[in-house]
Amino acid sequence: MLKIFKKVAFYLVLAVFFLGVLLIWGTLRAQVFQLTLFLTGVLLLLTSGAIIFLTIARESGDGVDTHASIIQHLKKDGLQIDVDLTQCKVFSNGWTEREEKYDNMPRVAFMNAVSGNSESNFQEINVNQSVIVYATSIQGKTTTFVSPAIAKDKATLMMLLEMQRNTLLYVDPANHNIFYFDLAFLQ
């Protein structure tokens, strides 16, 4: 829903941009020059142009380099904490999603629906998400760190943590909310 709203807003701003161009072009071509229309067109053109430029500039940066540079900075300049993975808590959540089997083959889905066998167009998929929670004392203050969501069930994740035993946690010394839990071994 948010994607649709962003797309509609972008096209509205684009329309305002072209309205500004049209107002400027119209006042320059008119026999009597209208300063207020011309300035309105310039204002519309500049504001919508700035919004379009900032949106495109923000969208063009994929964020991967930013995330990678933050991790690199934390590994270089951050506090390095050795984490005993057997002492971490694991919280897990699992659910079942219903997914279309034949979304790229609409004829098969249609034939199943027409024949009264529309249930075969769907499949049940088990989804598991887990997080690792680690609490430690940094500079005299107890801080809790929560890993990003991991697409594994609790039993599998606990087994992998038991096998690995240790990993590193990199924390920004100025802001403990910025950290990197090194869980590359789970990949």
Q: Where are the domains of the chain?
A: 2-60, 65-96+128-186
Alpha-carbon gap, residue 175 to 142, rounded angstroms? 14
Q: pLDDT band for 60, please (50, 70, 90 cuts).
A: low
Q: pLDDT band for 105, please (50, 70, 90 cuts).
A: confident
Alpha-carbon gap, residue 183 to 150, rounded angstroms? 9
Mean pLDDT of the chain: 87
Cβ atoms within 10 A of the Cβ of 5, count?
Answer: 9
Q: pLDDT band for 101, please (50, 70, 90 cuts).
A: confident
At 22, phi and psi to the nearest 5? -65, -40
The string of pLDDT tens digits covering residues 135-171 is 999 888 899 999 999 999 999 999 999 999 999 999 9
The string of pLDDT tens digits covering residues 124-137 is 999 999 999 999 99
Helix (H) or strand (E) holding 85: none
Alpha-carbon gap, residue 9 to 1, rounded angstroms? 12
Judge whether 149 and 91 are in contact, CB under 8 Å.
no
pTM: 0.58
Which pLDDT score is estimated for 64? 52
Q: pLDDT band for 14, please (50, 70, 90 cuts).
A: confident
Which pLDDT score is estimated for 83? 95
Amino acid at 115: S
